[in-house]
Every structure is written in C-alpha cells, then in structure tokens.
Amino acid sequence: MQNYLIEIFGSEIVAYILATVPVLAFIVLFVLFAVWLERKVSAHMQDRLGPMRVGWHGVLQTLADFLKLLQKEDIIATANDKALFNIAPYVVFVTTLATFTMLPFTSIFIGSNADVGIFFVLAFSGAVVAGILMAGWASNNKYSLYGSLRSAAQIVSYEIPTALVVLTMIMLYGTMSLGEITIAQTSHFWNWGIFGGPELGLAKILLVPFMFVAFIILFISTLAESNRTPFDLPESESELVAGFNTEYSGIKFSMFFLSEFANMFLIGSILVIFFFGGYNSPFGYLGNLLGIEWLIPIEQLLWFLGKGMFFVFVDMWLRWTLPRVRVDQLMTICWKYLIPYAFFNLLIVGLILLI
C-alpha cells in the first residue's frame, strides 16, 4: 500500500500522510455505526426497540445526531482556561488516532509496520491521560476535575497489568511488530495466540491455559483503560455528570466521543491481534479457492473488522449486565489480583518457552 503510494506521489512523507486517511475515515464510519449499535444493544437488552425512525431500524440516527452536534453552539465558560480548553479534545483524539497507525487491517494495509508496534500503542494510550487531565483542569469545574483525575488514576494503574500481559505475548512471538505477530499466526486457527501460538509440540499444549489467563487479564485491564462499564467511574453519570467532558459541547464534545469509541475498537483489535489471529481467517480464503487474488485482502479486512466488532459487542453487552465497581474495588482488582496473576503468568510462560 505504502510502496504503491510512494510510487504515485514520489515522496515518502506525502504517501505516509495519505495512508492515514483511510484509517481516519474508518474511525468516523465505525463510530457512526458503533453508537447506533450501542443504542440498539442496550435497547434490546432492556426489551425496548431503540431508535427506529431514521433509516432502516434507525441506522442513520447517529448521522442525524452528528449533524445536530455540528450545529450546536460552541460554549466556552468565562472562567475556563481557553487555550487549554480548546486544545484538549484534539490532544485526546490525535493520540487515540496515532495508535491506529500500528494496526494491521489486512496483509497489505498497515499504517506503519514499525518494529516498535505494540510499544507505540501502549505509549500513546498512556499519553491520552495528558489530554484528559488538560480537559478536566481547563474546564474549571470540580466534576470535570474529579472525573479527569479518576480517569488518569485508573488508566495509569491498569497500564501495569496490560504491559505485563503484552510482555508475555512479546516473549511468545519474539517481536513487537503487530504485523509480524499476525503473520506468525497464519494458516490454521490452532496457530492463534489463544491456542498457544505458532510453536508446535509439548510447549504449545502447556501454554494454552496460561494464554487463556493472559487473555482474561488483558481483556479486563484494557476494558478498564477505555473507561467502559463496569469501570466507568470517570464518567459515572450519577455522581459526576459526565466526567471530564461535562463542560464540552458541539464539535469538541464529539471529538471526545469519537476517541472513546475508537478506543473500544482499538482494545478489541489488540485482543484480536494477540490471541485470535488478527486478520487471518480460520477456514482459509474464498479468494484462494476461486483463484481471485484481490479478494483475499477484502476477506482479511472483513475478518479483522468482524473479530474486532465482536469484542466491541462484548463491551456493550457487559455494560448492560454488570453494575459499576467502587473505587476501592477498582484498585483491589488491579493491584491485588491482576498484577500478581499477570506476573506469575509472565514467569510461567517464560519458563515454558525456555524448555
């Protein structure tokens, strides 16, 4: 993809900038779809119908809402720190968007196949905290500040189990590049991370239970990092209005909204890449069967999006199933359970890999 663009435009930089356009377009389209899905899922779980008026079963409802948001007045209170208040949504959105450059959507499209891959994703999802604190502080509102401090504490704490599990998976695959991790899991679904990775033999069978533990830990900790229920303390509506984005309206609010939903897909796709083979199909490709070369990337894209969307759906499902945890429970889960388990898992997987 990049090589093709470099050939057309003759400049690496222009090609790389253009390569991010599909990703940006994907995020916007995905969010439009995901917001509708969230409303539909929540409605059906509560025995309602949800949005039904705009388009077929309300598919275009989000588009209508988005157009409404664009027209809204951009309210800036007098006591806000105006410069920081205006920059914060973009800091949050840009850092979230930056993580998407590392995701291998298909075998031919990766924003950047840099070797630092997952490390980059972790670093930038940590940098989001700076934007959130900026928003909370510049709002000059105690609910916003509480929300942003809670959010920052939560993200910083849950980064540790995430990083430990990511370390385990880097040991298994021997690379940090998300593209190469996906390539390592090709050909059969028993090569996927959750089934012990690409290595065959005794080690693979021994690894399966520990991979499952790693998957559960990564799922819980990334869910907490994206501030979703049951870990939605930063924006718990009953206590803090809407958390750090209480004061925002119009397009700036939609920036936060975009990055929140983009984050949901990001954590889903990280799980998919580590444990469920990324864009690889479990059954082989129709394109290979029919001998049509260009069909394969499209199938890969569909598999990747399908698997990612499944985890987004699980997040929504959990939201309407579990109650919110308390702050002390939140920290207990992280420091007393997830981190020790992740450490032991790391040690055991390391030992198994040495054998």
Partner 1 sequence: MSIYDLIFYLFATLTIVSALMVVSSDNIVRSAFYLLATFFGVSGIYVLLGADFVAVTQIMVYIGGILILLLFGVMLTSNITNVEIKKGTAKILPAVIGIGILLGAVVSVMTRTKWKIHLTEIPQTTSFELGKLLITDYVLVFELLGILLLIALIGAASMARREQE
63 within 8 A of 32, measured Cβ to Cβ: yes
Q: How far is the CB of 320 from partner 1 (least distance, A)?
A: 32
Determine, following the binding rule CB under 8 A, whether residue 220 of this chain makes contact with partner 1.
no
Find the binding residues for partner 1 in span 7-46 (CB under 8 A).
11, 13
With CB under 8 A, what is the number of residues at the site for partner 1? 26
210 within 8 A of 307, measured Cβ to Cβ: no
Closer residue to partner 1 (CB): 133 or 211: 133
Q: Fill in the per-residue mask, 264 to 303: x = in contact with partner 1 (CB under 8 A), - = not in contact.
A: ----------------------------------------
Q: Which of 65, 159, 247, 260 binds partner 1 (CB under 8 A)?
A: 159
| H or E segment and range at residue 34 | helix 12-45
- Reported for 121-124, long-range contacts at CB under 8 A and 24+ positions apart, including other chains, are 121/178, 121/266, 121/270, 122/159, 122/162, 122/163, 122/166, 124/95, 124/96, 124/98, 124/99
Interaxial angle between packed helices 12-45 and 82-100, expressed in degrees from 0 to 180 and rounded to the nearest 10: 100
In 3D space, the residue among 120, 96, 68 whose CA is nearest the CA of residue 88 turns out to be: 96
Closer residue to partner 1 (CB): 99 or 281: 99
| H or E segment and range at residue 225 | helix 202-225
Give the chain's end-to-end CA distance (angstroms, integer). 40
Determine, following the binding rule CB under 8 A, whether residue 100 of this chain makes contact with partner 1.
no
Q: Which of 2, 57, 64, 126 binds partner 1 (CB under 8 A)?
A: 126
Contacting range for partner 1; rule: CB under 8 A; set: 60-68, 113-121, 248-256, 287-295:
113-121
Length of the chain: 355
Q: Residue 344 is encoded by which pair of tokens?
A: 């032991």
CA atoms of 43 and 38, how far apart (whole Å): 8
Contacting range for partner 1; rule: CB under 8 A; set: 54-62, 68-76, 125-133, 322-330:
125-133
Q: Which of 116, 206, 213, 301 binds partner 1 (CB under 8 A)?
A: 116
Contacting range for partner 1; rule: CB under 8 A; set: 116-124, 209-217, 264-272, 301-309:
116-124
Q: Which of 84, 160, 298, 353 binds partner 1 (CB under 8 A)?
A: 84
The residue ranges that bind partner 1 (CB under 8 A) are 11, 13, 81, 84, 91, 114-116, 119-120, 122-124, 126-127, 129-130, 133-134, 137, 145, 149, 152, 156, 159, 176
